[in-house]
A and B are shown apart, each in its own frame.
Chain A
């Protein structure tokens, strides 16, 4: 059967390819998403002091290092058996929200807006940020500004934009000064103005893609995300909730310690990316999604006024719960608005300058689990240490892996609709890639060993002929 390959998948974070499998009639039988890179952080951290984990794990990614800092530090807090000071939790929240802002800006404006502003069928060499800047400079400018604001907040709090070392086991390493608080506050009005302009633009723009809404990973699934315990949006800490495709709560107040009962993982034979499914429903019925779309499905409201207004507009157009992954784009806008509102709320807390920001202890537990919401979805770090605090074992449940089943189902759905009679047009191929972009995967974050990785080695001659092949199955 003929197989066509999109390699590489463009305008995503990391390295991947998509294969499109045709049947005898030349119609699409299936499509698969293959992650072609491997990181292995679960293995390479073994033997290191647990106190290094936050900084080490932050190096998994250059876009969302703060997410790993937060989840890792929470796992280390559990190893210390401490409750961190309340103001440390506030400061970690602000950093996490700034990360959401800059990461969502990257996804929506840098990676996906070329398709949304210029069209899915625009010439490939125009489909980039520079193309958007030439066609609609105000869109590009707001996107660049929003990413910059998010990164500036991270730099002001954490000392550097990428891989800040500020979040540590027990809290954060230094309190917030009045001057820095005021500098961050001064950035927010500009950011909110950019978001309000963008919301107005994108509300209209996103309604111009009815075929994409219908065919971009549009199917029933479960959705998972943290809440604040009262059904509102939460990124740093809170109980995990799972809802079904009708919006009914399937499970609530799930504890991170019990994650292996509900987050099950399996290796795929054709990708370095693990897949995850909801354990009680088994594989593949337990397919679920995480990230902005899922978070807005598990909550009743964001909990901040402007974000709730925008969420209302999204639900009025798309219904509730949101099933099409095309709506991830609008969901990111809602979360960016919420991030700015929450950052301001936290900065105006009367105790935000409190200098008690770290709990000091030695290891008191030989196991710790930390869970938080990364921009792309729920993230979990699970560590085991020896009595001296040296790492024996780590397991990471990454958001992108939790979306893997849905991404695969999504590219198959899109390929079957947009590839007609085996004809691969540039627009059809771009749309299949755009399904993956809507999930905003972070592939560098998500490929770590749980055992022997699948291996397929081909030996080819100078003329490209296959001379030999060796495969190592799972």
Chain B
């Protein structure tokens, strides 16, 4: 059965860089009706999982937004030609589209990082973001599941809201 995929990525030994990882673990602990993956980085093998998913949700830290804030944005696959050492979510979606000739709706949920020093903990500033990201992801998964049960088709992202 095809399910949503939630992918939280980052380094859990580098403080807030591990926010995405921890948020994914929280989603898994809450037994979301989704495949949940916590990983250090986005690798080409994930493209195979995305190709079969009804919805893809990426969870990550960001240095491009105010620390302690959470942002949600829809994602579209991008055409990319280059090395696979540092893939972005959009590039991974592009690879999935090429391999599986199918695109699933996707979103990126990011939390602004405060500190990425060596640490196994999220900073105090960003700790609330872990729960917030997990709540948003859970809500999106729930809506996608409800839509699937009603229509038995892929959930278009426009009908899945973050809140």
Residues of A within 8 A of B (CB): 110, 125-126, 128-131, 133-134, 137, 140-141, 144-145, 147-148, 151, 162
Contact A144 B45 (CB under 8 A): yes
Given contacts A133-B99, A144-B99, is CB(A128)–CB(B47) below 8 Å? no
Distance (whole angstroms) from the CB of A105 to the closest CB of chain B: 9
Distance (whole angstroms) from the CB of B130 to the closest CB of chain A: 21
Q: Which residue of B lies closest to A162 (CB)?
A: B40
Which residues of the other chain, B, contact A133 by a CB distance below 8 angstroms? Answer: 95, 98-99
Which residues of the other chain, A, contact B99 by a CB distance below 8 angstroms? Answer: 133, 137, 140-141, 144
Residues of B within 8 A of A (CB): 40, 44-45, 47-49, 80-84, 94-95, 98-101
Contact B95 A151 (CB under 8 A): no
* Other-chain residue from A125, A147, A151 in contact with B81 (beta carbon distance below 8 A): A125
* Other-chain residue from A110, A125, A126 in contact with B44 (beta carbon distance below 8 A): A110
Which residues of the other chain, B, contact A145 by a CB distance below 8 angstroms? Answer: 48
Q: Complex: how many Å from CA A7 to CA B121?
A: 39
Q: Complex: how many Å from CA A128 to CA B95?
A: 12
Q: Complex: how many Å from CA A110 to CA B85?
A: 11
Contact B45 A134 (CB under 8 A): no
Q: Complex: how many Å from CA A137 to CA B99?
A: 5
Q: Which residue of B lies closest to A133 (CB)?
A: B98
Which residues of the other chain, B, contact A130 by a CB distance below 8 angstroms? Answer: 80-82, 84, 94-95, 98
Which residues of the other chain, B, contact A137 by a CB distance below 8 angstroms? Answer: 98-99, 101
Q: Which residue of A lies closest to B101 (CB)?
A: A137
Contact B84 A110 (CB under 8 A): yes
Contact B100 A141 (CB under 8 A): yes
Given contacts A137-B98, A137-B99, is CB(A148)–CB(B48) below 8 Å? yes
Other than the known A133-B98, A151-B45, what 5 A-B pairs have Cβ atoms closer than 8 Å? A128-B82, A130-B94, A137-B98, A141-B48, A148-B48
Q: Complex: how many Å from CA A129 to CA B46?
A: 14
* Other-chain residue from B45, B49, B81, B98 in contact with A128 (beta carbon distance below 8 A): B81
Q: Complex: how many Å from CA A128 to CA B80?
A: 10
Q: Complex: how many Å from CA A120 to CA B100?
A: 26
Q: Which residue of B lies closest to A140 (CB)?
A: B99
Interface of A is mostly: helix
* 11 A-B contact pairs sorted by A residue (CB < 8 Å): A110-B44, A128-B82, A129-B44, A129-B95, A130-B81, A130-B95, A137-B98, A141-B100, A144-B48, A148-B45, A151-B45
Which residues of the other chain, B, contact A126 by a CB distance below 8 angstroms? Answer: 81
Q: Complex: how many Å from CA A110 to CA B101?
A: 19
Which residues of the other chain, A, contact B81 by a CB distance below 8 angstroms? Answer: 125-126, 128, 130-131, 134
- The residue among B48, B98, B101 with the most chain A CB atoms within 10 A of its own CB is B98
* Other-chain residue from A131, A134, A144, A162 in contact with B47 (beta carbon distance below 8 A): A144
Nearest 8 A/B pairs, CB to CB: A148-B45, A133-B98, A141-B99, A130-B81, A144-B44, A144-B48, A125-B81, A147-B45
Q: Which residue of A lies closest to B87 (CB)?
A: A130
Distance (whole angstroms) from the CB of A160 to the closest CB of chain B: 10
Which residues of the other chain, B, contact A151 by a CB distance below 8 angstroms? Answer: 45
Which residues of the other chain, A, contact B47 by a CB distance below 8 angstroms? Answer: 144
Q: Which residue of A lies closest to B47 (CB)?
A: A144
Contact A128 B83 (CB under 8 A): yes
Q: Complex: how many Å from CA A365 to CA B101?
A: 58
Q: Complex: how many Å from CA A125 to CA B100?
A: 22
Which residues of the other chain, A, contact B44 by a CB distance below 8 angstroms? Answer: 110, 129, 144, 147
Which residues of the other chain, A, contact B100 by a CB distance below 8 angstroms? Answer: 141
Distance (whole angstroms) from the CB of B91 to the closest CB of chain A: 8
Q: Which residue of B lies closest to A135 (CB)?
A: B98
Q: Which residue of B lies closest to A142 (CB)?
A: B99
Q: Complex: how many Å from CA A47 to CA B113?
A: 37
Distance (whole angstroms) from the CB of A234 to the closest CB of chain B: 28
Q: Which residue of B lies closest to A161 (CB)?
A: B39
Contact B84 A128 (CB under 8 A): yes
Q: Which residue of A lies closest to B91 (CB)?
A: A130
Contact A129 B101 (CB under 8 A): no
Which residues of the other chain, B, contact A110 by a CB distance below 8 angstroms? Answer: 44, 84
Which residues of the other chain, B, contact A131 by a CB distance below 8 angstroms? Answer: 81
Q: Which residue of A lies closest to B94 (CB)?
A: A130
Distance (whole angstroms) from the CB of A333 to the closest CB of chain B: 19
Q: Complex: how many Å from CA A125 to CA B94?
A: 16
Q: Which residue of B lies closest to A105 (CB)?
A: B45
Contact B84 A129 (CB under 8 A): yes
Which residues of the other chain, A, contact B40 by a CB distance below 8 angstroms? Answer: 162
Which residues of the other chain, A, contact B95 by a CB distance below 8 angstroms? Answer: 129-130, 133
- The residue among A130, A137, A141, A147 with the most chain B CB atoms within 10 A of its own CB is A130
